[in-house]
Amino acid sequence: MLKVDEKYVGQVDMPSSRNWWPVIGTVVFVLCAAAFPAFAKAIGDPSLIGLAIRISIYAIAAASLNLILGYGGMISFGHAAYFGIGGYVVGILYHHFVEGSPFLGFIPGTNQFLITIPAAIIISGLFALVLGALSLRTSGVPFIMITLAFAQMLFFLFLSLKAYGGDDGLIVRRRNVLFDLNMADDTTFFYLTIGLAILYFIAFARLVRSPFGLVLGGIRQNERRMAAIGVSTYQYKLTAFVIAGMGAGLAGALMANYSKFVSPDMLHWTKSGDLMIMIIIGGTGTLLGPALGAVVLIGLETFLTSWTEHWKFILGPILIVIVLFSSGGLTSLFQGWSRKRE
Amino acid sequence: MSEPLLKVDGLIKRFGGLVATNNLSLDVVEGELHALIGPNGAGKTTFISQIAGELHQDSGSIHFDGNEISQWKTPVRVQRGLARSFQITQLLPDYTALDNVALAVQVRRGHSYQFFTDARKKTDLRDEGRQHLERAGLGSRANIVVSELSHGEQKQLELAIALATKPRMLLLDEPMAGLGTAECARMIDLLKVLKTEVTILLVEHDMDAVFALADRISVLVNGERIATGSADDIRANEAVRVAYLGEGDA
C-alpha cells in the first residue's frame, strides 16, 4: 500500500484552464455600476442612487461581519460598534476641524477623505483588538453575550458624550474632501463608494482563499483539530476579529459621509442584528451572500416603508420564508455565483 | 541507557471522586513503539490527552526531549514534535482530504499569516500533502471532501495529518478502532513502516495489532500501570491475565 500509485503522481488540483467566471462577473458588474446613475436618472428616480450607496456600504459592513461569523464561526453580536466607531471618527474629526480645536488637545481635526477613512479603519481595528482580546477568551453563547455587552457599553458611552452631541448625534455639514471631486454630488459619491466596495470584495475573496483564510475556516470546522496541528487558534481568531472590525470601520466612515450625520444609533444592537440578518438572508460563509442580503434588506426596507410605517410587520414573514425555503441563504439558489464555505 | 524521549512521572488526574490517572509513570525511549493497553475506562485516552496538552494533570511531570512540557499548550507541543491522532476523528469536514493535510504542512512551515496568496495554489504545500496522503493510502482520495470519506478513510486521514506535522513522536489513540479486517491489516502494515521512522505511543484494543507491532507494552488498569514489558512478558504476566486478558485462574 505504500507504493505510490502512478495514476496520481503529477495530478494537479486545479483544472488546467483557469476559471474566468469571477473575472467576467466582476467586469459585467463594474459596467452595470458605471451605467447605473444614468439609468436611475433616465427612469426619473435619482433617489435610487442614494439607495445603491447605502446598499454598497451595508454590503461592506455585512461582509466584514461574515468574515468572523460565516468563515470563522465566531458569532459576534456587537459588530455595529465598529461601524459606529468608524462613523464617529469621521464625525469627531470634522467637528474639531470646524471648531478649530484639537481632539484630546493635540490631534487636529480634518475633513480630508484620505485621512479620515484610514483613521476610521485603524481606530476601529484598535477597538476590535482590545474588545476582541477580551471577548475571545470565551466562546459559544458567552461570546455572543460579551460582544453584545461591549457594543452596548460603547453605545451608552456615545449616548452620554455631550461634547459630541450625545443622543442627538453629530452633524457633518459637508462630506469629506477628496481631491477636487464634487463629493456633495450623489453620483460622484456613488462611484467612490461602489469602487471601494468592489475593491473590498476582491480583497475579501483573496483573503478567504489565502493560507490565513484556510486556517480561519479550519477553526470554524474544528478548533480542536487546528490546535492539534500546531495552530494557536486564539491569535488567528483575534486577527480575523480585527480585520472584521476594520472593514466595519470603513463602512461606518462611508456612512457618516453619505448621510452627513453620525449618532449612537449606528452602534445600537439592532444595527448588529441588521448585519446578521443580511448575512443569513444571503448565505453565511459565502463571498457574495452579505451583498445580496444587503440588497434584499435595504431594498425591502425602502420599498415597504413607502407603503406603511408598520413595514417590519411585512418584513418578518418575508424573512421567515427566505430562511425556511433557501437553506444556506439566497446565494444557494444561484449555484455557481459563489462557492459555499471557502 | 539513553534518556527517554518521553518521561512521565507520578501523573495524577482526578475528575471529582474518580481517579482517572493514578500516580502513573511511563518512559518511552526514542525509536520504540510503545503500546498502551487496558480495559475500557482504564484511563488511556485521558492519559494521551494529558501528554498532548488538552487536559492538565493535577500533579506529576511530563518531560519530552528533556524539557518539562506541562505548562506548554497543545500547539506548542505539536510544534516541538509531539503529534497525536484522535480516537474519535477530529477532521475539517468541509475541506477535502488534501486540504486537511496541506493545512498541517502549511502550519508547520509557518506560512499561515499570508493574506493574499491562494493557499490551494501553493504547489510545494500541496505536493507534500499529497505524499503524506499516499503514505496513508489515500492518494486516490485527495480531492474528496472529508465528510464524504468512509470511516476507515477518515482514520487514515487522521494519521496522514499527524504525519504532516513531521513529529518526533506520535501519540496514536486507537487508530484501528472501527476499521474492517482488510483496513486493519493495511493500517498495521503502515505502522510497521512508520515505527522505523518515528517514536510511537500506541493506544489500541486490537491485541493482534499490539502484539505484532509493539517493542514494549504497558498495561493500564484503573489509571495505574500494572505492568510493562515485551509482548512475551505481558502474555506471561499473571496480574495482566487476571486484570485484562481474562484468562486468570481466579
pLDDT of B138 > 50? The answer is yes
- Please state, in angstroms and rounded to a whole number, the distance separating the CA atoms of residues A233 and A226: 7
Q: State whether B115 and A8 contact (CB < 8 Å).
A: no
Task: Check residue A212 and give its pLDDT.
Answer: 95
Task: Check residue B201 and give its pLDDT.
Answer: 94
Q: State whether B92 and A217 contact (CB < 8 Å).
A: yes
Residue pair B234/B240 in contact (Cβ under 8 Å)? The answer is: yes
Mean pLDDT value across residues B116-129: 90
Nearest to A229 among B78, B111, B115 (CB): B78
pLDDT of B249 > 80? The answer is no
- Please state, in angstroms and rounded to a whole number, the distance separating the CA atoms of residues A269 and A252: 15
Helix (H) or strand (E) holding B145: none
Which residues from B are below 8 Å from A206, CB to CB?
115-116, 118
**ipTM, two decimals:** 0.88
Task: Check residue A340 and give its pLDDT.
Answer: 43
pLDDT of B155 > 50? The answer is yes
Task: Check residue A298 and give its pLDDT.
Answer: 93
Closest of A133, A153, A137, A166 to residue A78, by C-alpha: A153
Record the pTM. 0.88
Distance from CA of B71 to the nearest CA of A (A): 15
Residues A4-42: tens digit of each pLDDT: 444 444 444 444 456 888 889 899 999 998 888 889 888
Distance from CA of A236 to the nearest CA of B (A): 9
Which residues from B are below 8 Å from A213, CB to CB?
115, 119
Residue pair B182/B176 in contact (Cβ under 8 Å)? The answer is: no
Q: State whether A221 and B92 contact (CB < 8 Å).
A: yes
In sequence order, what are the beta bridge partners of A103? Answer: A107
User: Phi, psi at residue A196, to the nearest 5°?
Assistant: -65, -40
For residue A282, what are the CA distances in angstroms to A279, B21, B44, B133, B245?
5, 50, 46, 36, 58
- Please state, in angstroms and rounded to a whole number, the distance separating the CA atoms of residues A11 and B168: 30
Q: State whether B114 and A211 contact (CB < 8 Å).
A: yes
Q: Which of B91, B115, B196 to mutate to test the interface with A (most CBs of A within 10 A)?
A: B115
On the CB side of B45, CA atoms within 13 Å amount to 12
Q: State whether B90 and A225 contact (CB < 8 Å).
A: yes
Q: State whether B99 and A8 contact (CB < 8 Å).
A: no
Residues A217-252: tens digit of each pLDDT: 999 999 999 999 999 999 999 999 999 999 999 999
Residues A315-337: tens digit of each pLDDT: 888 888 887 877 677 777 765 44
In sequence order, what are the beta bridge partners of B18? Answer: B15
Task: Check residue A334 and give its pLDDT.
Answer: 67
The whole-chain average pLDDT of chain B stands at: 88
Task: Check residue A154 and give its pLDDT.
Answer: 95
Q: State whether B117 and A203 contact (CB < 8 Å).
A: no
Mean pLDDT value across residues A155-159: 94
Q: State whether B126 and A13 contact (CB < 8 Å).
A: yes
Task: Out of A155-164, A235-244, A305-314, pick the least confident.
Answer: A305-314
Q: Long-range CB contacts (< 8 A, 24+ apart) of B176-181?
A: B176/B204, B176/B205, B176/B206, B176/B209, B177/B87, B177/B205, B178/B151, B178/B152, B179/B151, B179/B152, B179/B155, B180/B152
Task: Check residue A5 and give its pLDDT.
Answer: 43
Assign A319 to helix, strand or coil.
helix
Task: Check residue A337 and give its pLDDT.
Answer: 43
Mean pLDDT value across residues B64-85: 92
Residues A37-85: tens digit of each pLDDT: 889 888 988 889 999 999 999 999 999 999 999 999 999 999 999 999 9
Distance from CA of B241 to the nearest CA of A (A): 35
Q: State whether A214 and B99 contact (CB < 8 Å).
A: yes
Residue pair B191/B204 in contact (Cβ under 8 Å)? The answer is: no
B49 burial type by CB count under 10 A (0-12 exposed, 13-18 middle, 19+ buried): buried
Q: State whether A230 and B113 contact (CB < 8 Å).
A: no
- Please state, in angstroms and rounded to a whole number, the distance separating the CA atoms of residues B221 and A99: 78
Helix (H) or strand (E) holding B59: strand B59-64
Nearest to B115 among A11, A212, A222 (CB): A212
Residues A81-121: tens digit of each pLDDT: 999 999 999 999 999 998 888 888 788 888 889 999 999 99
Task: Check residue A266 and give its pLDDT.
Answer: 94
DSSP one-letter code for B72: S
Q: State whether A231 and B115 contact (CB < 8 Å).
A: no
Find the closest chain A residue to B81 by CA distance: A230
Which of A306-315, B85-94, B229-238 shows the highest mean pLDDT? B85-94
pLDDT of B60 > 60? The answer is yes
Residues A168-183: tens digit of each pLDDT: 889 888 888 888 888 8
Q: Which of A202, A220, A224, A225 to mutate to test the interface with B (most CBs of B within 10 A)?
A: A225
Which residues from A are below 8 Å from B186, CB to CB?
1
Nearest to B107 among A221, A229, A239 (CB): A229
Q: State whether B93 and A13 contact (CB < 8 Å).
A: no
Q: State whether A13 and B106 contact (CB < 8 Å).
A: no
Find the closest chain B residue to A2 by CA distance: B135
pLDDT of B1 > 60? The answer is no
Nearest to B165 among A210, A230, A233 (CB): A230
Which residues from B are below 8 Å from A247, CB to CB?
none
Q: Number of CB pairs < 8 Å for A and B?
A: 128
Mean pLDDT value across residues A295-319: 87
Q: State whether A210 and B117 contact (CB < 8 Å).
A: yes
Residues A117-154: tens digit of each pLDDT: 999 999 999 999 999 999 999 988 999 999 999 999 99
Q: Which domains does chain B have, with CATH numbers?
A: 1-81+169-250 (3.40.50.300), 89-166 (no CATH)
Residues of A with CB under 8 A from a CB of B: 1-2, 4-5, 7-8, 11, 13-14, 203, 206-207, 209-215, 217-218, 221-222, 224-225, 227-233, 236, 239, 341
pLDDT of B2 > 80? The answer is no
Q: State whether B94 and A221 contact (CB < 8 Å).
A: yes
Task: Out of A178-187, A203-212, B121-130, pick the least confident.
Answer: A178-187
Q: How confident is the model at residue A314 (pLDDT cuts 50, 70, 90)?
A: confident
Which residues from A are below 8 Å from B139, CB to CB?
4-5, 8
- Please state, in angstroms and rounded to a whole number, the distance separating the CA atoms of residues B144 and B98: 8
Task: Give the relative orientation of helices A289-305 and A47-66 as an angle to the nearest 10 degrees.
Answer: 140
Lookup result for grid cell 472590525: A245
